[in-house]
Amino acid sequence: MAYLDLLAERGIDGAHPGGFALTRALLGREMIDSNTVVLDVGCGTGQTSSYIAKKYKCSVVAIDNNAKMLEKAQQRFQKDNLKIRLVRADAMCLPFWPNSFDIVLAESVTIFTNIIRTLREYFRVLKPGGTLIDVEMTAEMPLTVEEWKDVKSVYGIKQVPTQDEWTCMLKAAGFSNIQIFKGRMNPLELLFGNRLGEEFSAHFNLMKQYYRKLGYRVYRCN
């Protein structure tokens, strides 16, 4: 079963690098009020969308392309009595008008798509001056052919850009004022990560093997 399908099957929250603690910290840096409109791309089980709606009392639209994730998110929203618009959609073809959102939040989503196409969609649906917050796996240095084969076999992704490559693609999509926050996988988290189960062993083994070559970045831009 593919990595993303495994996450959906297990209904895992906050699987992105940095976890939910990072999400809360990033949102806490933004000026969010009841008039803010947020798009949560690849909402998964709805953990982040639910948090935003509860804490900031603002309008949230949550999208995902996985039926199981959408089902779990809907259950969460209903349980918490939250009026969050939930849409099945592909990040590469967002079903929204241009200039619709103040903030687009993507947490380990973009890398699983055609990156430049998805970034252009983020740019299109953001209001002028709007903010993209994108947390993504980033290569600390270019990978060798063999290393790339290992990464592709686990995640099925087409590339792991370096920080410079991510920056170039963001600029090509139209973004400016790019701020970058560097993060590394916590070795202790990886050591105990196998508690998620045997089926995730390939993921954690890869992260431990390439700890010095694979990190993550937060790309914040307008």
* Overall CATH class of domain 3-221: alpha beta
- DSSP state, 97? -
Q: What is the pLDDT of residue 30?
A: 97
Amino acid identity, residue 63?
I
60: closest CA among 21, 101, 92, 23? 101
Q: What is the pLDDT of residue 40?
A: 98
Provide CB contacts within 8 A for 55, sequence distance 6+: 27
Q: What is the mean pLDDT of each run of 10 residues along the chain (222 residues)?
A: 54 65 94 97 93 97 92 93 96 98 96 96 98 94 87 83 97 98 63 48 71 90 96
Pairing of strands 85-88, 59-64: parallel
Q: What is the pLDDT of residue 188?
A: 42
Extract the tokens encoding 141. Answer: 């240095």
Q: What is the pLDDT of residue 222?
A: 95
Amino acid identity, residue 10?
R
Q: What SS3 class is residue 132? A: strand
Q: Are 160 and 214 in contact (CB under 8 A)?
A: yes
Q: What is the pLDDT of residue 177?
A: 97
Predicted confidence (pLDDT) per residue in 117-144, tens digit = 999 999 999 999 999 999 998 999 888 8
The predicted model scores a pTM of 0.88
Q: What is the pLDDT of residue 18?
A: 75
